[in-house]
Amino acid sequence: MSQARWIWLKGEFEIYHSLLLHSRRQEYGADHPVMWDQATPYPGVIFKKTFTAEKDGSFTILARGRGRAKLDGVQYPVGVEIPVTAGEHSLDVEITCTDGTFPCIYIDSEVLRTDKSWICTHVTAEKFPVDAKKEYTTPEDNPHVFKFSYKTIVPEVEIAVRDGVLYDFGKETFGRLQIKNADPNATYEIYYGESREEALDKPQALIRQTVTGEPDYDLIPRAFRYIYVCGKIDGLTVTAEYEYLPLEDRASFACDVEKIRKIWDTCVYTFHLNSREFYLDGIKRDRWVWSGDAYQSYMANNYLYFNNDITRRTIIALLGKPPYEQHINTINDYTMYLIIAVYEYYRNTGDLEFVQFVWKRLRILYGFLASRADEQDYICHRSGDWIFIDWSPMDKSGNLCAEQILYWQTKKAMAALSELMGENGETYTAEAKKLKEQILRDYWNTEKGAFIDCYSSGKNNVTRHANIFAILYDFVDEDKIRSIYENVLENEEITPITTPYFEFFELLAYGKLGKLEHIQDKIESYWGGILDLGGTSVWEQFDPNKEGIEHYEMYDKKYGCSLCHAWGSGPIYLLGRFCVGVYPTDVAYKTFRVEPNPGKYKSFQGTVPLPEGEVRVEYADGKLSVTAGAEGGTLCWQGKEYTLKKDVTLTV
């Protein structure tokens, strides 16, 4: 028998922890609830198992929740020892939670254990798989508490400032602040700052707490580099418990440009800080899960950890539960990224079981999306919708081109997923074909040689976004690609992208066109620019034309800009994908290509993870050596192709 684990209805762990996560935001001392409706766990679950006891014995059911067992139809309370005779048995365990949590059970005996072989229902006719995680294996474990790792960290510098002390932990971090030796009669004001300026700016610091009455404080985890404590600070000890997931880095990158190593490390650190229950947008402000941001994190993940569990957790959390009454995160595009992401996840991992699990919900979500299209089957603005795409001036006065290209890609994903699920995907394919013809007819502007934002306004405004999608998703032919490259990407008159979020998509387009040097330059100027200003993690936004604390302003808040934002981790993907050059050519990297491209680097060494094993590439002095930790690889180098053998270094 396998090791005993706590089990629960698959998906409920994510739904519950998403609910908790999205209810934790605070700003200026007030709780800040999430701006969309959230799913909740099913209160009741019946866990089912038929099993053969090898000998007489007994077992005890531990439960999170209340309920009872029925062994061969005979009722037992949970928590008592239940005798079993040798032979076949049928067990139902009915558990209910009324406190917002989700039912879990645990059995560890010689005759029976809880593990993934169980099935369950949420008290309907439909049967579902259970989930069981390796983190929850002992009777004391509680799946209602997400398990993190902790490390004590101490401030590098303490300076008295005005009526308090400023503690500098040396770099951006996230953790539980620990204050010891406080005077229980004194009141302490604590200000958190990603920047020194924020921590010291009492009225404007986003995150703060006032405490009193205790000698020691163990505060809830928050983001900070600086902590400013005001009050009776004599003898106070301030440390923190850094809270993190021990995700293994399976990638590396370094090159002759020394700065790149630091940029890489900062991107990796930024990504770790945002890889928690799910992929967060940033660790200070929202700490929410946004489907568009997460879409980029799935990509970074595949080039750093290749950890499927956190991607699955994020998708399940974003997907929530039907009925769908609003878009994912309220944003039309974010619904579509989620559907596209499920197919891309499958392509990268071959994880059919996961597709099976999400399929019913995904299909209902697609139905919601499609039901809100207009009579031409264009994505349009309906009550409650947020047509986002990017923080960028764009002609949003009518149906937006970028939304339609995403919709086309979504239909293609639905077609492919349908076929995977043994359903007929032809309707989606036919609709995608029709949609593409319409988009080309309505949005392609021959005069401008580009897609316009919106055809109904007559403004014929061109922005980069739809044109980038057209390249990314192979929506157009070579001629149009060339036209977009010249008339949009390389055209300085077209408003430049201002967010690292869409900058990443733009760089992907450059990468697809083989323009690695543009990517390399951008990494040095943009990411390097943040480092030059003292950034220890990648910012949500960076405009080199701003000065001083102007950089920290966003959303009309003096320190509204997140200084540790997941979407800043793009170089992990960009360098792995386009410089080391590894990418799959079949499901789950059954076959893959290694197309190294030094670009402007004279030398580089990079490692990129495969589902199993890694690809290691070293390039120096015109010599390339490549080692792949799995079969199926083809090296493409200077126009030639070489078959890679597992664990055999090929030098060319």
- The single residue listed with the structure tokens 């792995």 is 576
**Separation of alpha carbons 596 and 160, rounded Å:** 52
> Binding segment for its own copies among 75-83, 198-206, 290-298, 544-552 (CB under 8 A)?
75-83
Residues 291-350 that bind its own copies (CB under 8 A): 322-323, 325-326
The type of residue at 98 is T
CB of 562 to its own copies, least distance (A): 18
Q: Which long-range contacts (CB under 8 A, 24 or more apart) does 582-590 make?
A: 582/303, 582/608, 582/610, 582/615, 582/617, 584/347, 584/348, 585/634, 586/632, 587/346, 587/347, 587/350, 588/347, 588/348, 588/349, 588/350, 588/351, 589/348, 589/630, 589/632, 590/350, 590/632
- 560: alpha, beta or left, given left = phi > 0 and alpha = psi -120 to 50? alpha
Non-local CB neighbours of 105 within 8 Å, separated by 6+ positions = 6, 7, 8, 47, 61, 62, 63, 64, 78, 93, 95, 114
Cα 310–Cα 316–Cα 317 angle in degrees, nearest 5: 90
> Binding segment for its own copies among 95-103, 214-222, 223-231, 343-351 (CB under 8 A)?
95-103
**Separation of alpha carbons 323 and 217, rounded Å:** 42
H or E element at residue 8: strand 7-9
> Binding segment for its own copies among 69-77, 107-115, 254-262, 445-453 (CB under 8 A)?
69-77
For residue 352, give the 3-state DSSP assignment.
helix
Non-local CB neighbours of 432 within 8 Å, separated by 6+ positions = 408, 411, 412, 415
Does position 100 interact with its own copies (CB under 8 A)? The reply is yes
> Binding segment for its own copies among 94-102, 214-222, 396-404, 464-472 (CB under 8 A)?
94-102
Does position 77 interact with its own copies (CB under 8 A)? The reply is yes
Residues 467-526 that bind its own copies (CB under 8 A): none
> Binding segment for its own copies among 122-130, 387-395, 531-539, 629-637 (CB under 8 A)?
122-130
Q: Are 241 and 212 a contacting pair, CB within 8 Å? A: no
Does position 601 interact with its own copies (CB under 8 A)? The reply is no
Q: Which residues of 478-493 are buried (b: 16+ CB within 10 A; e: fewer)?
A: eebbebbbebbbebee
By beta-carbon proximity to its own copies, the closer residue of 24 and 436 is: 24
Residues 101-120 that bind its own copies (CB under 8 A): 101
Phi and psi torsions of 296, nearest 5°: -75, -30
CB of 39 to its own copies, least distance (A): 9
CB of 35 to its own copies, least distance (A): 7
CB of 37 to its own copies, least distance (A): 4
Does position 98 interact with its own copies (CB under 8 A)? The reply is yes
**Separation of alpha carbons 172 and 72, rounded Å:** 56
Residues 408-437 that bind its own copies (CB under 8 A): none
Of positions 31, 234, 258, 493, contacts its own copies by CB under 8 A: 31
CB of 382 to its own copies, least distance (A): 8
By beta-carbon proximity to its own copies, the closer residue of 25 and 616 is: 25
By beta-carbon proximity to its own copies, the closer residue of 77 and 215 is: 77
Of positions 12, 14, 94, 540, contacts its own copies by CB under 8 A: 94
> Binding segment for its own copies among 65-73, 270-278, 447-455, 644-652 (CB under 8 A)?
65-73
Q: How many residues belong to the site for its own copies (CB under 8 A)?
A: 46
Does position 78 interact with its own copies (CB under 8 A)? The reply is yes
By beta-carbon proximity to its own copies, the closer residue of 49 and 327 is: 327
> Binding segment for its own copies among 33-41, 268-276, 519-527, 562-570 (CB under 8 A)?
33-41
Phi and psi torsions of 330, nearest 5°: 70, 0
Find residue 556's DSSP bridge partners.
none
Does position 122 interact with its own copies (CB under 8 A)? The reply is yes
What's 185's DSSP letter? T
Does position 40 interact with its own copies (CB under 8 A)? The reply is yes
Which of 585, 589, 593, 10 has its CA nearest to residue 350? Answer: 589
> Binding segment for its own copies among 23-31, 163-171, 496-504, 510-518 (CB under 8 A)?
23-31
Cα 140–Cα 143–Cα 144 angle in degrees, nearest 5: 110
Tokens found for residue 288: 């929410």
Of positions 95, 223, 414, 574, contacts its own copies by CB under 8 A: 95
By beta-carbon proximity to its own copies, the closer residue of 78 and 369 is: 78
By beta-carbon proximity to its own copies, the closer residue of 100 and 514 is: 100
How many Cβ atoms from other residues are within 10 Å of residue 405's Cβ? Answer: 27
Does position 38 interact with its own copies (CB under 8 A)? The reply is yes
CA 464 to chain centroid, in Å, comes to 24
CB of 122 to its own copies, least distance (A): 5
> Binding segment for its own copies among 22-30, 131-139, 265-273, 579-587 (CB under 8 A)?
22-30
The type of residue at 65 is G
> Binding segment for its own copies among 29-37, 221-229, 473-481, 587-595 (CB under 8 A)?
29-37
Does position 30 interact with its own copies (CB under 8 A)? The reply is yes
Of positions 1, 86, 123, 157, contacts its own copies by CB under 8 A: 123
- The single residue listed with the structure tokens 């930790």 is 629
Q: What is the DSSP string of 616-647?
A: EEEEETTEEEEEESSS-EEEEETTEEEEPPBT
CB of 68 to its own copies, least distance (A): 4
**Separation of alpha carbons 148 and 146, rounded Å:** 6
Does position 76 interact with its own copies (CB under 8 A)? The reply is yes
Which residues make up the interface to its own copies (CB under 8 A)? Answer: 19-20, 23, 27-38, 40-44, 66-68, 75-78, 94-101, 122-126, 322-323, 325-326, 383-384
